[in-house]
Amino acid sequence: MELTNSKEQDKIGFEPSAGNGLLTIAGDPKTFYVNEIDKTRNRNLLTQNYLSVLKIDATKDFSTVPELHRKQFDAVITNPPFGRISHTEKFDGYPINSLEQLMAIRGLEP
């Protein structure tokens, strides 16, 4: 499955920490849900014709977001910010201490 350079409109991708959308630049913006909490970057995303632009804390559970509830994506791409989190999160019994790991896990959760 290839979302970049794809004309298949039924393929949908998700970028949980989109920044300015650079990871999606080779694809059709109408095939991506993107998320960014930074006000300026989120505003930039809104000008790029994405299927949906969200403003959700990517360290939280996305399944509580009505627009994403039970949504299945064909691809998830992300390059989250690196850093430590203030507390250890457990995921399937594994301790998660870094921001990038937590944000990637949250983006991949069903």
The whole-number pLDDT of residue 2 equals 54
Q: How far apart are CA 76 and CA 34, in angstroms?
A: 10
The tally of domains found in the chain comes to 1
Q: Model pTM?
A: 0.85
Instruction: Confirm whether 24 is domain-assigned.
Output: yes
Instruction: Confirm whether 2 is domain-assigned.
Output: no
Q: Are strands 94-98 and 84-91 parallel, antiparallel or unpaired?
A: antiparallel
Instruction: Confirm whether 59 is domain-assigned.
Output: yes
* pLDDT tens per residue, range 51-90: 999 999 999 988 888 888 778 899 999 999 999 999 999 9
- Asked whether the predicted pLDDT for residue 3 surpasses 60, the reply is no
Instruction: Confirm whether 29 is domain-assigned.
Output: yes
Do the beta carbons of residue 33 and residue 15 sit within 8 Å?
A: yes
Instruction: Confirm whether 5 is domain-assigned.
Output: no
Domain that holds residue 58: 13-108
The whole-number pLDDT of residue 1 equals 42
Instruction: Confirm whether 7 is domain-assigned.
Output: no
Return mean pLDDT, the chain. 89
The whole-number pLDDT of residue 72 equals 86
Produce one character per residue of 15-44: b if its CB has 16 or more CB atoms within 10 Å, e if not. bbbbbbbebbeebbeebbbbbbeeeebbeb
